Amino acid sequence: MTSFASRLIAGARQIGPLCVGIDPHPGRIPDLFGGDTPDGLAAWGEAVVAAAADRACVVKPQVGLFERHGPEGMRALQHVCEASKDAGLLVIADAKRGDIGTTAKGYAAAYLSDAAPFPSDAVTVNPYMGLDTLEPFIEQAEANGKGVVVLARTSNPGSADFQARDLEGAPLYARVVEALAPAIARLKGSEDWSSLMLVAGATGPDEARRLRQLAPDALFLVPGYGAQGGGAEDALAGFKSVGNRLEGGVVNASRSVTFPAGSDTAASKAEWRVLIEAAIEAAQADLSVHTGQARVAPA
């Protein structure tokens, strides 16, 4: 069974380090797809998946923006996850789950089990209730070749409220990553990368470099690139040199590639898709230039 880390790093090497975030923000779904309705979210999300196929190796649906529509919104998420798998894309479910005992087991089964209703390759989790809350996710990852993406240093402005607070001589985010060392080693794959991934925001490049020192084998999921203001150089600050290139994870872009200029007024789905494909290609090329990676654009 190939590990999540091996699948992700192989895809990033082949196509580039861009992760396409599928975030159906209220009022942003074009009427071409049905607008801000469950059917609209499903149709738009599946269209984003089709545009991302062969242009990115991974997508990241934002669970909360589907969940706001209730059961039908979660059905739309299910369709997007299934379409992504059919298109050969890896799926990181951005759910930021974190709870204890059987509740955590339920969340882990929902996204990482063989029979998961929202089939995903990895899921984001919040570690701040303690290491025991991560165990059910790690168990599912071990059993099924999946990944666990742990919040370390996030990209939002309020991240410093707690994550940067001093805890016995080091910031809290550093103490969290230190505590994760056994789990990182436990999920280490054949490519020398671990399937325990860390969130390291593009808005904190110095912190990302520190995280890389603390966790040399952990892949990074880097939010904050594009619409949140992070540039490619900052987004890749936590990557490391491997041969003549940089690697070490994927960089997420959401609004900048799914809502580019003109996409809200496109006259047809074909016109809309041209704009989305161009935005994905531009972001992928920008990141690949900085990683030293040669890319061949899809036909």
Active site residue ranges:
96
Whole-angstrom CA distances from 15 to 28, 195, 264, 297 are 28, 19, 27, 9
Q: How far apart are CA 250 and CA 8, in angstroms?
A: 8
Q: Are strands 240-242 and 218-222 parallel, antiparallel or unpaired?
A: unpaired
C-alpha 220/C-alpha 297 separation (Å) is 24
In 3D space, the residue among 43, 47, 48 whose CA is nearest the CA of residue 59 turns out to be 48
Separation of alpha carbons 79 and 86, rounded Å: 10
Closest-CA residue to 293 (of 5, 17, 4, 3): 17
Helix pair angle (205-214, 172-179), 10° resolution = 30
Cα 126 to the chain's mean position, in Å? 14
